[in-house]
Amino acid sequence: MKLKIYNGYKSYQYLREGIDYEVFRFPPEVHRVPSTRVVVTEEQETRVQRLLDDNLVISLHDHPSLVPEDPAEIFRYRRQGRDFTGYEGLSVSRTDVVFDNMNDGTALITSKAGWKWDDIIYDMGMRLSDFAHQDFAMVVHGVKDIHRAMDTGRIGIVLTLEAATPIENELDRLDILYGFGVRCMGLVYSEANALGAGLKETRDGGLTKLGRQAVRRMNQLGIAIDVSHTGDQTALDAIECSDQPIFITHAGARALWNTPRMKPDDVIRACAEKGGVFGVEAAPHTTLTARHKQHSIESYMEHFEYIANLVGLDHVAFGPDTLFGDHVGLHHAFAKQLSIESAHQGPSFEEVAYVDGMENPSENFFNITRWLVTKGYRDEDIRKVLGTNILRVLEQVWV
């Protein structure tokens, strides 16, 4: 069994509660709700545990931080710019590396709309300070750090931003973000920015000249490029412009669920043809299907299999896009700001309180691996989709 070195540290415990920061009540990081465990036999469970122990497990997209028990408090919580990391939940997740997106789109210290440069730097600095006061989570700057995290029983954190919106028209800000440790970044969130069009826009003019300059600079620096939230043409332009493979870190297949948040086949194929990897997401009410209109691990894995059949198992992985807390409540609170309504326009569906089987980072990879084992996937293929596909891209992209 993977031995993790977690010793019970809680975020910012080196400060004084209620004096240096406002105190919020958080829900449990493990078993917050009665999320279903995928049913396996005793023999299959032994195999699941061995696969998780012996292989690199990477979450290509998550938000492994805590959300207040009362979602209505989220705005006050975010305004203080001090996110709490779910160390306990991560310690039992059997995950080796997490691409941590730091709740960047909800940075609200100086703005109601988020994505402001000063707020992003403030949030990032606070998280880095917290990481520096403990020994369990380590910031990953390169491939060697991934192996070091796995070998030493720690969790590797890849600092990630979902959009380059905070750089505005300042290309050198990419260098600054790299200096802070950012190793993966989306080009555009749902709203258009100076680089290109987001998925909520009705007209997608593709990657701008500044966007092309940003792609080249990210290639030079060694920042992995993500096009999960871009419009379709902007995604295709970015894939063509990049010298390196790119990621779609968290999305699904539009052929299964026709909403802007999902990616069409031509974008998925273009990503794979460039050598990239597609991470399947599980944020509430995203990866639904006609057969599974109630979001659960079954609809989630239907997207996985569709993409794997379309482009091959070498080009698919998992980017659950989950957190510790009431994700549905958070979406309700931020529906307008995060363009959730625009992104999910499409077929009707039944709202769920949580995504059964994929509720938070502490359980995701257990159930994913159990599901793959029950469906007869080979060890070598499970190894690819749990982590080595992602590692292959990072070995090319990171300098």
**In a domain? residue 196:** yes
Nearest to 63 by CA among 78, 85, 91, 80: 85
Give pLDDT, residue 208. 98
Helix and strand numbers (H, E) in the chain are 15, 9
Nearest to 245 by CA among 311, 190, 158, 201: 311
**In a domain? residue 190:** yes
Q: Is 159 in contact with 166 (CB distance < 8 Å)? A: no
**In a domain? residue 256:** yes
**In a domain? residue 22:** no
**In a domain? residue 36:** no
**In a domain? residue 5:** no
Nearest to 98 by CA among 85, 84, 116, 82: 85
- Its sign, for the CA torsion 180, 184, 189, 194, is positive
Which helix or strand (DSSP H or E) is residue 155 part of?
Answer: strand 155-161
Give pLDDT, residue 72. 87
**In a domain? residue 303:** yes
Partners of residue 159 on adjacent β-strands: 100, 182
What angle do the packed helices 389-397 and 143-152 form, to 10 degrees? Answer: 140
Based on the structure, what is the number of domains in the chain? 1
State which residues form the domain around 215.
Answer: 42-397
- What's 121's domain CATH number? 3.20.20.140
Give pLDDT, residue 379. 98
Output the six-digit token pair for 134: 């403990």
**In a domain? residue 3:** no
Give pLDDT, residue 307. 98
Low-confidence ranges of the chain (pLDDT < 50): none
